[in-house]
Each structure stands twice: as structure tokens, then as C-alpha cells.
Structure 1
Amino acid sequence: MLEEAVRALREWQHDDEPFQLHPGDVGWYWRFGAEATAAAVRTWRTDGRIVAVGLLDGEDLLRFTIAPDARGDDALALRLADDICDPERGVLPAGTVYVESPRGTRFQELMFERGWQSDVPWTPLRRDLAAPVPDSGVRVEVIGPDRADVHAGVIRASFEKSTFTGERWHAMASGSPHADARCLVAFDDGEAAAAITVWSAGTGRPGLVEPMGVHRDHRGKGLGKAITLAGAAALRELGSSSALVCTPSSNAGAVATYRAAGFAALPEVHDQRRG
């Protein structure tokens, strides 16, 4: 089921679709292991075909998307809303919970009709990859299994609550989405200073940045822009049509970094919240 869900997510990625759950999101979650990832993925089928995929990202957030040709299906939207709103069905617990889903679907309309509210805004950003990406201007290396600790160490030093380790890097790399991913590290005077992982969904489809971080001791030097440019270049080499990322709108520094690396902001999106 997990591999089938990843394949479906790949097929649903198109540049003219709203920002949505990406196979790279599942690939990044795979750092917790295949068993945990399988337990976190939810799928819905119609006539045997997967038509919706969700990733339970923590206990209270369901990151969720629907097949593009099924987003206006009233019957499917009702089934999804019933399953997600009812704690006894085991998708989300009772209390305050959140759902991330593409804009403009019948499902979202139903959730608002049932009293769910918009939560804080997020800013999706996109960089077109039709033209070559400028050189990052710093030394950047592709990180493989033998240097997993280097990449993991930068990510831990970039995010206050990160639990990423070399062991989790290897777990992430064991997942099928990682076959079309690249982990990169930028160096500052010989020290590992910024890191990014980028995920391709296949040739001609948008790729994803998840995550990108700059070591707390190396900030203010333009390394966020540099490693993001390197990640975009890697996605272009993998055949991606564009590079996507989404960050809280309140994180002005991150939005500015992505803009500096040639990303254009798309319309803000909001999770839906109950409670």
C-alpha cells in the first residue's frame, strides 16, 4: 500500500495544480522507518483505485491530497469528510486537529460547512527550472551514506527541536522516494554550514525542497540562498519542471531566502482547524 500511495502522489504532481502533498513529504517522514511511515499513511479508494492520500504528520495534523480528477466529486468529498471528522474512524483524534489539503476542492467546502476554521497562513513558493540555475557561489557537496552524519548534524543545528541523526538519514535513504532525491551540504571555510534535501517526483513534474536549513553558527552569510540554488540545480538535473517549497508566512526570513534564490510566492494557503 505504501509504494502504491507514493506512485499515486507522483502521478498527481503537476505545475498547474495547487500546492499539495508530495512524494517527498512521505520520503522525509521515512526517517522514522518504513513501518512508522506505513502506519502514518492513509489512503482512500474508488473502484480499487487510490483517489486520496493522507500523511498523519504527528498526532494532530493530517497532510492530505486528492486525485486531480476527483476533487469535485461530491460523494468522495462526503466520504472523506465523514472519515476525517469522526474520531471513531481513526484518522484524527478528538479535540483540536488540523488538515492540510489543496485549495478549491469540494472537500474543503464541506469541512468549512461543518465548522472547521482557517488556521495560520503558509506561503508556497515556486521556481521554474526551464532555464539553467545560476551557480551557488560556494562549495557544495552531494552527501551519500558514508557522510550521513554531516548532513544530519547541519539539520540538527538549523532547527531547534530537530531529532535528525545519521541513523535517521539512513532510514530516510532506504525509502523508495529517496531514489529520486539529493542531499546537499554547503561549506563555509571548510565547515559544514547549510544543508538541503530535494525530492523529484519524476521528469517534467515539480520537485520539493524538504528540508533546508542553515547552521546557527553560519547565518547571515547568504548560505541559505546558496544551498537553495544548489538544490534547485539538482532538481533540474533530475528532470524536475520546477522546485516547490512551503513555509509559514510568519517566517519572513525563510520567505526572503527563497525569493532571493529565484522562487516566486504563490497565493497563501491555510490549514483547516477544528477546535
Structure 2
Amino acid sequence: MRRDDFTGPADLRAMQSMCSRLWSPTSRFHPGQLAWSRHHQPVPARGTTADEAISLWREGGDVVGFGWAEAPDWLEAQVDPAYPEVAEELVDWFEEWSDAAAQSVLVMEGDVLEPALLAAGFVPETDAPHFAHHVLDLAGLADVPSVEGYRYRHVEPLEAASRAACHAASWSDVSPSRLTTEAYAALMSAWPYRADLDWVAVDAAGEMVASCLVWLDPATGVGLVEPVGCVPAHRGRGLAGAVTLAALHRLRDVGGRLAVVSPRGDAGYPGPRRLYRSLGFRPVARTVTWHRSLTE
């Protein structure tokens, strides 16, 4: 067993391989989630940004656990259940790296990390905002509805600028998007991105106004929906659901068997959850935030 700090794309790919090998509806990460998390903002070609840290635990040539401190007060992690000893090392590593007075860790309910978190003084916040994993068997996929004045198509390889602008405009009322043309171009080069699974709705002028990105893991046949958005001026027409269905039909055409999506599961942000359930997605698992304060 050895621990290595994150160095770049090869390590991200190794982390994705672990997620693919372990994937189930109750797993924390799909390989596509790691690609999106890494590239939804500009990042250095090598290593990490100044305010984050990523570390990998390996047994032989395989990653069996990783911690991704997105900030000193926030950790995301996944550990192979066959290696529970990694969980304690991972929590210790985060404590050594972080200088935050309060720290939070997001894991799945019932995760192998829970005993190590409890031993380190973290407590679960079951009423805090959380994400709910939803799945959809693609065999029962609904038809794609038409919306007058719009059509659906997949993104072309040289459309990073337009695609990034569509995403940024769609999320502008939630928080300022950090996604740039350069970041989206890097995302399009990352595994397992496929342009034929990156779908948009365009208006009569050809402008992208809604989008759905699906990540297919060919080893499992599972496609992750992440993210979906619609430009505010075009909302209320059903475009977000329609473009998602268009992308899911393509996912099924290329061999996908199951789709997964993880909207908020709490009452604080119910819109996306309602949308996905209207398409047939059903909840199967949820995340829990564990928190500790080092000043109390």
C-alpha cells in the first residue's frame, strides 16, 4: 500500500478506473463525475490548484481509495470497501493538510468511511442539504417531445466556446459559473467525454439554449447525467427535460443500459429532482455530510 499526491491526467484516469470497477447505484462516484469535477473550471495541466489537495492510495497498480479536498473545509472521498484501513489514513491525511477550524466530508450513507469519521470526531448532519442518486432503466425510456421553435442535436468537437457559454448562461442565476471556453475544451479531451452524448437544444437562430451532458462508462454501460441546464429566457417550455431525453436516447443507441443522476434530495432545491423523476428516474441512495469543529 502506498499513498501518492495527485500529479495530473494519469492519476485522474486511475481514480476513474477505481470508480468504474466499484460502481453500483449506491457508489459515491461515476467516472464521469470526476471528469466534470476536474474540468468545470480552469485547472493546471499538472498537479492541483493552490487551495485544493488530492491524494491516492494504491495497492499494487490499482487505486483503492482517494481523497479530494476541494477546499480546506470540504472533502470528497471514496474508498474500496475491501480496504477499510485506507479510510482512517485518508481522514488523517485530510486533518494534516487542512488548516480549517471547521471541516465537512461528503460520503454515501453507510459508507466505509463512516467509522473513521466518527472516530475522528465528525458527526453526521442527516438534515443538511444532500444529493440523492436516481437511476433509470433505459429500456423504458419515454419518447422525446417536440417543442415548437427548437430542435435538438449533439455538440460538435469545435463548439467549446458556444457550449461553455450555454452552460454559464443556464447557471447564472444560481452562482457565477467558472466554466470557460478553455476549460470546456479540456473537458472535451478528457475520458470518457463523447461529443455525441453532449446534447443541446437550439432555437430558430441556431443558438444553444439548453443542454444535457451524459458520460458513458463503457465497462458498466452506465451513463451519468451531469450537468443539465436551460438559459433563463427559455425556461418553462420543457426544454431541459426534452434535451435530456434526446441525450438518453443516444445513450441507449450506443449501448448504454442504465442512466444515473444525482440531484439535491432535500427540500431546499427540489426543481431538478422533480424534473428527473418526471422522466422516470427513481431514488436509490443518498449522500450524508459529516462535520466537525476543531474550536469547540
Alpha-carbon distance, 1:37 to partner: 6.7
Determine the structure 2 residue equivalent to 1:67.
Answer: 80
Displacement after TM superposition at 1:233 (Å): 2.1
Contact 2:170 2:232 in 1 (8 A): yes
Q: Deviations over 1:164-190 (max 9, x none)?
A: 222221011122232587221112444
Kindly provide the CA deviation profile for residues 67-109 of structure 1, in whole angstroms up to 9, marking residues without a partner as x.
2433xx3x3332223223x2x2x2x443223222233233212
- Cα offset for 1:159? 1.1
Asked if the contact 1:205–1:242 (Cα under 8 Å) also holds between the matched residues in 2, the reply is yes
Residue 23 in 1 paired to residue 36 in 2? no
Displacement after TM superposition at 1:262 (Å): 1.4
The structure-2 alpha-carbon separation of the partners of 1:246 and 1:128, relative to structure 1 and needing over 3 Å to count, comes to: same
Contact 1:186/1:223 (CA < 8 Å) preserved in 2? yes
Aligned counterparts of 2:72 and 2:213: Cα–Cα separation in 1: 24
Q: Report whether the alignment pairs 1:217 with 2:233.
A: yes
* TM-superposition CA deviations, 1:18-43 (whole Å, max 9, x none): 14122112211234246267665421
Superposed displacement of residue 111, structure 1:
0.7
Decide whether the 8 Å contact of 1:203 with 1:241 is kept in 2.
no
Q: Does 1:10 align with 2:17?
A: no
What runs of 5+ residues in structure 2 fail to find an aligned partner? 1-10
Give the aligned length.
266
- 8 Å CA contact 2:81–2:112 kept in 1: the answer is no
Q: Which residue of 2 aligns with 1:80?
A: 90
2:168 is the counterpart of 1:156: yes
Partner of 2:138: 129
Q: Quote the offset at 1:258 in angstroms.
A: 0.9
Residue of structure 2 in register with 1:114 after alignment:
120
Question: Are the counterparts in 2 of residues 158 and 214 from structure 1 also a CA contact under 8 Å?
Answer: yes
Aligned to 2:272: 254
- Cα gap change, 1:60 to 1:201, in 2 (>3 Å): farther
Tell me the CA shift for residue 215 of structure 1: 0.6
How far, CA to CA, are the matches of 2:120 and 2:196 in structure 1?
39
Cα RMSD for the two superposed structures = 2.5
Residues 158 and 41 of structure 1, relative CA distance in 2, 3 Å threshold: same
Is the CA contact 2:212–2:240 (under 8 Å) kept in the aligned structure 1?
A: no
Matched, 1:242 2:258: yes
| Aligned counterpart, 2:158 | 146
How far is the alpha carbon of 1:226 from its aligned partner?
A: 1.0
Equivalence for 1:101: 107
Q: How many Å separate the matches in 1 of 2:155 and 2:61?
A: 39
Is residue 142–residue 184 contact of structure 1 (8 Å, CA) maintained in 2? yes
SS of 1:137's equivalent? coil
1:270 aligns with 2:282: no
Task: Please name the residue that 1:49 is paired with.
Answer: 62
Kept in 2, the 8 Å contact 1:33–1:172? The answer is: no
Q: 1:147: Cα distance to partner?
A: 1.9
Q: Percent identity?
A: 27
Amino acid at match of 2:28: Q
